């Protein structure tokens, strides 16, 4: 959602900014813009286009733009419709200050009103434009640019990553960060600016993550960094190990398909990482390579997992409550994990939707742990919830796929997943890796609390690897049938009902979300036991019911009864079952049969097949699978 790319250096501004914007396309956007200072005429040159970055690229293609400083932006509309006027960059009255912005300026209406009274004129409906005008008026009333910036940030409420370009200062960019990420890549006589490291990761590996509430004046060979009071900050670049080839499609038609197939490896890698954390060679490790997997496993189960999480073994032993907080697909992973923590660790576990959290009473308990689960580490709702929990003195831990993300800097401790970059907007491998890491963590907590012994811990790890294998093998078993007949058949329906019970209910929620977000087919999900309380009225031949089975015998029997309710009303029933679940198979119009695994890992075993089926249905409908309409990968606004 929204991307910022900027450059100051050696004349390759246009190329870097356009390439950078393309790399951030996966985050989701609806229009893109670019501004630079033309070296010859020493003035702004700017372009805005609705639609893909390619449109902007085409507009710039034939222009001889010699420029060594500029910024680009991809916009995901929040304030004002999608059109060129609302596309960034935005400008002040005489178009001498250009700005691009990620986030939301909450105080923009009152500021805009005051500025209109003092004769500022606005072209767009955005919150961003007021920032350019406000800075213009503050520059006039303050002695220095720095003093004007300090006043500016005092007046701007909300979340923002802002990058400014000034005609008056053609060799510098101004960067401001509050609650929205902004990074500086340090090159050789050039600086790369972006809201996501992917934009410049093959230009330099030296990165400065701008601290929360800071601003920077960036020239090609100099960075001055300040806090919001204007006090100078010293911060050294960090070295990152991230290559753009990690995000190639590698021959797959879509990132989503590639990522579905990467799941087994992501899970294996993540579990290896969890097992090895803290052994001397791997201290402070945030990312592992595949070579790592070939090393002999020495299972030590050291306390170092707790130092990675920033917590003590004593605190884990005393744990009385767990809170799991997340959004979207990550929330579904948490709903599944609730069963792990409550059953394996015997700890009452509450799962919260991040977007609801700030508006509900929260009763922090002593000896509790709040775990925030987020693929991107940048979801605004999740970050906001984290800030609330941090202020309640509850210990916070982030589980994320992006070690350089904002959540890592704000949580008390973090556990990096090893899923690798996930590019497709619909989450696949991040989901299965989250479920796996949470299952591992639940067992590790149980071991610490002496609820299980080391043999059970090892067996749990084996179970995870087996479930990951089943996840992959099941796709292979049904691949051809799905491609040749099933996808075509089911892509013709306009609506679906999804059912699950117990641990298969949150999984059914995830399946319904997957179908909705990429195929745009309407899907409604219910706990199967609720069917009789209303949704049963919807059962007809035109509304296939997709039911996910369970390996818990009692739940299975209940699901058989629910399947009978569907069939008794002439419903069309598709089931995802486990080997030997004959009654369900016989009741179904079609069954996907998956090998048996540890009952807690049933959803994980079915994940690949469910995702592949939905992917192929969507392909039949010819939708933009990796970038569905209206959606963003990283939702950085509340």
Which residues have a catalytic role annotated? 2, 633
Binders of ligand G6P in range 349-378 (CB under 6 A): 374-376
The position carrying tokens 């601290």 is 211
Find the part of the chain contacting ligand G6P (CB under 6 A) among 284-292, 344-352, 425-433, 586-594.
Answer: 425-433
Would you call 548 helix, strand, or coil by DSSP?
A: strand
> First and final CA of the chain: distance in angstroms?
12
**Residue closer to ligand G6P (CB basis): 191 or 407:** 407
Q: How far is the CB of 424 from ligand G6P (least distance, A)?
A: 9
Q: How far is the CB of 509 from ligand G6P (least distance, A)?
A: 12
Q: What is the dihedral of CA 303, 304, 308, 312, to 10 degrees?
A: 30
The position carrying tokens 């015998």 is 553
The position carrying tokens 């990312």 is 287
- For position 102 contacting ligand G6P by CB under 6 A, the verdict is no
**C-alpha R_g of the chain:** 26
- For position 427 contacting ligand G6P by CB under 6 A, the verdict is yes
- For position 631 contacting ligand G6P by CB under 6 A, the verdict is yes
Find the part of the chain contacting ligand G6P (CB under 6 A) among 290-298, 422-430, 554-562, 586-594.
Answer: 422-430
Q: CA angle at residue 306 from 302 to 309, to 5 degrees?
A: 140
Contact yes or no for 278/284 (Cβ under 8 A): no
Q: CA angle at residue 119 from 116 to 121, to 5 degrees?
A: 70
Q: How far is the CB of 453 from ligand G6P (least distance, A)?
A: 34
Give the Cα separation of 372 and 354 in Å (integer): 9
Find the part of the chain contacting ligand G6P (CB under 6 A) among 80-88, 171-179, 232-240, 629-637.
Answer: 629-637
**Residue closer to ligand G6P (CB basis): 484 or 630:** 630
Q: How far is the CB of 382 from ligand G6P (least distance, A)?
A: 5
Give the Cα separation of 180 and 161 in Å (integer): 5
Helix (H) or strand (E) holding 173: strand 173-178
Would you call 502 helix, strand, or coil by DSSP?
A: coil
**Residue closer to ligand G6P (CB basis): 278 or 377:** 377
Nearest residue to 594 via CA among 616, 618, 610, 570: 610
Q: How far is the CB of 353 from ligand G6P (least distance, A)?
A: 11
Is residue 379 packed enough to be buried (19+ CB in 10 Å), middle (13-18) or exposed (0-12)?
buried
Q: How far is the CB of 635 from ligand G6P (least distance, A)?
A: 5
- For position 379 contacting ligand G6P by CB under 6 A, the verdict is yes
Give the Cα separation of 56 and 70 in Å (integer): 14
**Residue closer to ligand G6P (CB basis): 276 or 498:** 498
**Residue closer to ligand G6P (CB basis): 56 or 525:** 525
Contact yes or no for 401/377 (Cβ under 8 A): yes
The correct pick among 349, 382, 396, 406 for binding ligand G6P (CB under 6 A) is 382
- For position 635 contacting ligand G6P by CB under 6 A, the verdict is yes
Residue nearest to ligand G6P (CB): 328
Q: How far is the CB of 8 from ligand G6P (least distance, A)?
A: 30
Q: How far is the CB of 633 from ligand G6P (least distance, A)?
A: 6
Find the part of the chain contacting ligand G6P (CB under 6 A) among 122-130, 249-257, 296-304, 423-431.
Answer: 423-431
Binders of ligand G6P in range 515-534 (CB under 6 A): none
Strand 90-91 with 183-186, pairing: unpaired
Binders of ligand G6P in range 319-348 (CB under 6 A): 327-330
Nearest residue to 17 via CA among 199, 184, 176: 199
**Residue closer to ligand G6P (CB basis): 2 or 217:** 2
Phi, psi (rounded to 5 degrees) for 130: -65, -25
Number of residues that bind ligand G6P (CB under 6 A): 15
Both tokens assigned to 85 = 């006027």
The correct pick among 22, 178, 627, 633 for binding ligand G6P (CB under 6 A) is 633
Binders of ligand G6P in range 257-296 (CB under 6 A): none
**Residue closer to ligand G6P (CB basis): 375 or 504:** 375
| Alpha helices (H) in 240-303, listed in sequence order | 255-261, 263-276
Residues near ligand G6P, by CB under 6 A: 327-330, 374-376, 379, 382, 425-427, 631, 633, 635
């Amino acid at each position: 959602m929204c991307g910022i790319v900027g450059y100051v250096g050696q004349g390759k501004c246009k190329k870097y900014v356009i390439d950078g914007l393309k790399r951030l396309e996966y985050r989701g956007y609806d229009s893109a813009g670019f501004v630079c200072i033309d070296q010859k005429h020493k003035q702004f040159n700017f372009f805005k286009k609705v639609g893909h970055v390619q449109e902007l690229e085409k507009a710039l293609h034939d222009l001889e733009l010699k420029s060594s400083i500029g910024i680009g932006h991809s916009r995901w509309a929040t304030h004002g419709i999608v059109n060129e006027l609302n596309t960034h960059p935005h400008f002040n009255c005489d178009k001498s200050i250009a700005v691009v912005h990620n986030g939301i300026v909450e105080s923009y209406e009152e500021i805009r009103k005051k500025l209109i009274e003092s004769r500022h004129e606005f072209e767009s409906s955005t919150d961003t434009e007021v920032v350019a005008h406000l800075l213009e008026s503050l520059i006039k009333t303050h002695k220095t640019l720095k003093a004007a910036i300090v006043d500016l940030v005092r007046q701007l409420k909300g979340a923002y990553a802002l990058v400014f370009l000034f005609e008056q200062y053609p060799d510098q960019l101004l960067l401001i960060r509050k609650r929205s990420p902004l990074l500086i890549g340090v090159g050789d006589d050039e600086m790369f600016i972006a809201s996501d490291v992917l934009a410049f990761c093959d230009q330099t590996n030296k990165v400065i993550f701008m601290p929360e509430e800071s601003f920077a004046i960036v020239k090609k060979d100099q960075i001055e960094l300040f806090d919001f009071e204007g006090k100078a900050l010293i911060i050294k670049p960090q070295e990152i190990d991230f290559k753009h080839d990690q995000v190639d499609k590698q021959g797959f038609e879509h990132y989503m398909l590639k990522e579905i197939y990467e799941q087994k490896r992501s899970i294996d890698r993540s579990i290896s990482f969890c097992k090895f954390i803290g052994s001397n060679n791997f201290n402070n490790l945030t990312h592992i390579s595949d070579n790592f997997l070939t090393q002999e496993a020495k299972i030590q189960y050291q306390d170092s997992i707790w130092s990675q999480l920033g917590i003590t073994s004593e605190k884990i032993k005393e744990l009385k409550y767990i809170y799991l907080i997340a959004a979207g697909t990550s929330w579904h992973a948490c709903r599944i994990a609730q069963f792990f923590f409550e059953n394996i660790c015997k700890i009452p576990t509450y799962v919260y939707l991040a977007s609801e959290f700030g508006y509900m009473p929260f009763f922090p308990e002593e000896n509790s742990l709040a775990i925030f689960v987020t693929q991107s580490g940048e979801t605004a709702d999740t970050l906001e919830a984290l800030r609330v929990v941090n202020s309640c003195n509850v210990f916070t831990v982030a589980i994320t796929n992006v070690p350089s993300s904002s959540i890592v800097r704000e949580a008390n401790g973090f556990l990096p997943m090893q899923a690798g970059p996930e590019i497709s907007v619909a989450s696949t491998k991040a989901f299965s890796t989250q479920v796996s890491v949470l299952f591992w963590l639940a067992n590790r907590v149980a071991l610490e609390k002496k609820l299980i012994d080391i043999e059970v811990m090892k067996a749990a790890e084996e179970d995870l690897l087996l479930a990951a294998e089943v996840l992959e093998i099941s796709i292979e078993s049904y691949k051809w049938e799905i491609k040749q007949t099933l996808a075509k058949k089911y892509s013709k329906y306009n609506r679906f009902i999804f059912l699950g019970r117990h641990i298969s209910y949150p999984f059914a929620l995830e399946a319904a979300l997957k179908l909705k977000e990429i195929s745009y087919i309407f899907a409604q999900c219910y706990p199967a036991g609720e069917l009789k309380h209303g949704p049963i009225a919807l059962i007809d031949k035109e509304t296939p019911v997709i039911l996910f089975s369970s390996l818990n015998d009692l739940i299975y029997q209940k699901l058989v009864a629910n399947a009978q309710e569907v069939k008794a009303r002439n419903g069309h029933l598709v089931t995802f079952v486990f080997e030997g679940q004959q009654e369900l198979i016989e009741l179904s119009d079609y069954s996907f049969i998956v090998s048996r695994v540890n009952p807690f890992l049933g959803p994980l075993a079915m994940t690949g097949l469910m995702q592949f089926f939905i992917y192929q249905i969507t392909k039949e409908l010819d939708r933009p699978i990796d970038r569905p309409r209206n959606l963003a990968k990283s939702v950085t606004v509340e």
